[in-house]
Amino acid sequence: MARKLTYFASALALCAATICGRAAIAQDDSANGKDAEQAVATQDGRQQDGEKPSESKAPTESQENGDDIQFDENKNGVQSSLDAAAENELNEISQTSAEDLLNLATELKLSATNVVDLTKIVSLCNRAEKLGLDDANREFSKQLRLSAQLDRGLAIAQLFMDPGLDVAQLPNGWQELRDLAINDFKMALQETDDIPLAQLSLGRLYILAQNAEGAKAAFNAAINTKEDDQEEIKAFAYFSLADIEKDLNEAIKLIDKAIELNPQGEPIFYYGASVILDKMKREDAAIARINKAIELAPENVNFKKQKAMILANARRYDEAKQVFEEATKNEEFNLQNELAKADFLGNVKDFDAAIAIFDNLAKTFDGPGVYLLRAVAKAQKKDYDGAIKDLDEALRRDPNMLQAFKLKGGVYIEQEKYEEAEKAFRQYLKKSTAPEDKLTAKTQIAYSISKRGLYKSASKILKDELAKDAENAELMRSLADMELLFGHWNAAAELYDKLLAKDPDDSGVLNNYSWLLATCPEESVRDGARALEYGKKAAEKTYYAAPHILSTLAAAYAENGDFESARSWSQKAVELGELEEHESLDSLRKELESYKADQPWRETSEIMKEVDEDAAPVSETPEPPAQ
């Protein structure tokens, strides 16, 4: 049954999260010399968003640019800094009548060159309106003020329009700049919403504000503009919609629309398409798109690295290495590039070469990060003792390194040393301060205990946490998988029903529930129709590329008596499992033999036997304290 539990920790899953941390270091432009040493010395392996390469930016207007935006960080935010800068200059103005102020604002609008000038216009119009204007001049002042706000919003937005934006490179206080621009656009667009460049800019800002619905509305407004000759803006709006589209099939359709509008103009569109197609395991289509991006921008090294990664994901390792080496042959030797190289070598399963890079880096950079990352490579190589040794070295240098404790627990789980795993996760819990880290630690402690057959103690940890947060899907999922592990079929089914009510598209829940409904030894629990429904959906959500999920789909077909389909999907699961060297390959093969004999699969061999805890102590370590 453990093969079907796609949630609980494994060393490789924890390694993968840590590798993302390595990539994050590699993308930090400051990682050179002493800055690099500090980066590695403080690296804790947390996952960060990677930077997308970009060859071009969204359309701009030459008059609007954000290059001169500056503000005093000691003041109360960007808005007050701009207002103060404007007021300092306006205090010298001798005009006192509303009409004179409006005339000055009008003259300034014709010569404005930066956001401070635009802020002065807004301030002059506000002053004039407060002093009192007739109806005609009041309407003119309003339109002038909104025009200045629109221009100011466009100027600020240029800081954020690059599709490959790395917010880490933005100045402190960028969130306030973003919010100021959003407010300017909202004010201006109240008068007329058919300003496609403003809508596109507003949408990009909403993405940064994590307002997906607002972003979608803005991008669609840009696309539906009635203005002529706006194909470039529409193309970027489609591309931006793809950024926030969760359904990858729909996302690729949106990028195709962007390319149709601008087929030769933006290599970033083809790059973006390659990323999505690669996630969908459509490697040939992904390679075709990235090749087009490289054709349009042959000097872009990041596009070539993306091609190498697509080839690696397709397990075409020799080709991937060749492309990567060609892309990086002129790169200088520094920490950033060496970490990126080691990351790539891990992806092509050349763990020895990756470890050799870390060996060399450890001679210069003696911080805990190098040992953590080398431990990842050793764990992937299944050199678990070597990984533990490196993790101990990392913790000797930084006793509070959370990811080292987390990875150590995962490595012990791979070794089936569950008591040692529990101890490592308890240290992880003790050192954690963030609620999400504490929750992860507790679920892993519970899993480590459960793998020793101690259901009562393990489930109590999760149930106690659920008593404090009854709607927490992570806890609910952990408990559901634990009930399944111990063969508590009805309890597991009840929890899976609740989870699907919360998120009907969770592929992991769909897969585990389908497996239960298709293979449960108790006839009263099995439900072939629902098993097939959920199995199909899980396979679709994972693009028919996960061996264990395809094996679930095969089991569902078998439960419905369709052994021909069961054999077909089971054969596919075995083939993918062989390519991936899947840990459950033996079980996948046994399932296929069962279907060849026209026999449905029944899950009995992997059910965890519950230990009598009255006769066996749970652990030498105490239960995690209430947080």
**Taking phi first (over 0 means left), then psi (-120 to 50 degrees means alpha), and beta for anything else, what does residue 600 get?**
beta
**Whole-angstrom Cα distance, residue 355 to residue 348?**
13
In sequence order, which ranges of 69-114 are alpha helices (DSSP H)? 77-90, 98-111
Q: How confident is the model at residue 80 (pLDDT cuts 50, 70, 90)?
A: low
Residue 574 pLDDT more than 80? yes
Q: What is the pLDDT of residue 94?
A: 58
Structure tokens at 99: 């009409």
Higher pLDDT, 359 or 622: 359
Residue 459 pLDDT more than 60? yes
Burial tier of 619 (Cβ tally within 10 Å: 0-12, 13-18, 19+): middle
Range with the poorest average pLDDT among 189-203, 419-433, 521-535: 189-203
**Whole-angstrom Cα distance, residue 294 to residue 156?**
31
Residue 285 pLDDT more than 50? yes
Q: Which amino acid is at 517?
A: L
**Whole-angstrom Cα distance, residue 532 to residue 542?**
15
Residue 66 pLDDT more than 50? no
When mean pLDDT is compared over 98-107, 137-146, 384-393, the highest value belongs to: 384-393
**Whole-angstrom Cα distance, residue 611 to residue 108?**
81
Mean per-residue pLDDT for 185-214?
91
Residue 253 neighbours by CB distance under 10 Å? 14
**Whole-angstrom Cα distance, residue 417 to residue 399?**
22
Residue 612 pLDDT more than 90? no
Higher pLDDT, 306 or 27: 306
Higher pLDDT, 46 or 513: 513
C-alpha R_g of the chain: 29
Q: What is the pLDDT of residue 8?
A: 35
Q: What is the pLDDT of residue 458?
A: 96
Residue 10 pLDDT more than 70? no
Average pLDDT over all residues of the chain: 84
Q: How confident is the model at residue 35 (pLDDT cuts 50, 70, 90)?
A: very low
Mean per-residue pLDDT for 609-623?
60
Q: Which amino acid is at 286?
A: A
**Whole-angstrom Cα distance, residue 611 to residue 456?**
9
Contact 621, 422 (CB under 8 A): yes
Structure tokens at 123: 């301030």
Instruction: Report which secondary-structure segment, H or E, holds 496.
Output: helix 489-502
Q: What is the pLDDT of residue 605?
A: 63
Residue 423 pLDDT more than 90? yes
Residue 473 pLDDT more than 60? yes
Burial tier of 164 (Cβ tally within 10 Å: 0-12, 13-18, 19+): middle
Interior angle at CA 102, CA 96 and CA 104, nearest 5: 80
Q: What is the pLDDT of residues 328-350, one digit of tens each?
A: 999 998 888 999 999 999 999 99
Q: What is the pLDDT of residue 113?
A: 85
Nearest Cα neighbor of 532 from 556, 513, 515, 511 is 556
Contact partners, residue 366, CB within 8 Å, separation at least 6: 41, 397
Q: Which amino acid is at 601?
A: W
pTM for the structure as a whole: 0.77
Q: What is the pLDDT of residues 246-266, one digit of tens each?
A: 899 999 999 999 999 988 778
Q: How confident is the model at residue 4 (pLDDT cuts 50, 70, 90)?
A: very low
Contact partners, residue 437, CB within 8 Å, separation at least 6: 402, 428
**Whole-angstrom Cα distance, residue 465 to residue 443?**
10
**Whole-angstrom Cα distance, residue 457 to residue 468?**
17
